Amino acid sequence: MLKFGPVDVIVLAAGAPAFDGSILAELERAAETGVIRVLDAMLLVRDDAGDCWRVDIEDLPDDQKLALAFVETGTRGLFDSDDAGVLFEGMVPGSAVVALAIEHRWAIDLVNAVYSSGVELAFQFRVPAVVVDEAYASLSTNA
């Protein structure tokens, strides 16, 4: 039996970062309901002068750490300096990147049921939400 669900690494890029807390609120909500588990998070900033900064949760003031309490403490550090270096290469001045490692907790029981039934995963891919929205919009305009 599997104990862990599949993990997605998601990289969010902002050309002109204006984080308002809504992303954190949604991640926290999903983590609290057990749908996901946020294993690690990394914030990278390239300022207007081109200097790069990596913000680690442990280096934040206590009130900001508290806002990120939903990020598991035992799995922090999955992203390292090499990961940051790769992401910094693609960043333009005045931008920010947030990298997230998210475990899909909802999938654990499903995967265990599949394996218990003697079935194997033959193929898997993810269709981005934007593509799904476009496909449904296309269906409604063609109907």
61 lies in some domain: yes
Token duo for residue 49: 């002068």
Q: Find residue 100's DSSP bridge partners.
A: 10, 41
Query: What domain range includes position 92?
Result: 7-142
Would you give the end-to-end CA distance of the chain in angstroms?
Answer: 45
For the chain, list residues with pLDDT below 70: 143
**Residue 1 falls inside a structural domain:** no
Report the number of distinct structural domains present in the chain: 1
Asked whether residue 25 is assigned to any structural domain, the reply reads yes
Return the pLDDT at 143: 66
- The gap from C-alpha 68 to its chain's centroid, in whole angstroms, comes to 13
- Closest by Cα among 90, 95, 99 to 40: 99
The predicted structure's pLDDT at residue 15? 87
Residue 99: the pLDDT is: 96
Please name which of 74, 73, 107 lies closest in space to residue 2, comparing C-alpha atoms: 107
Q: What is the pTM of this model?
A: 0.84
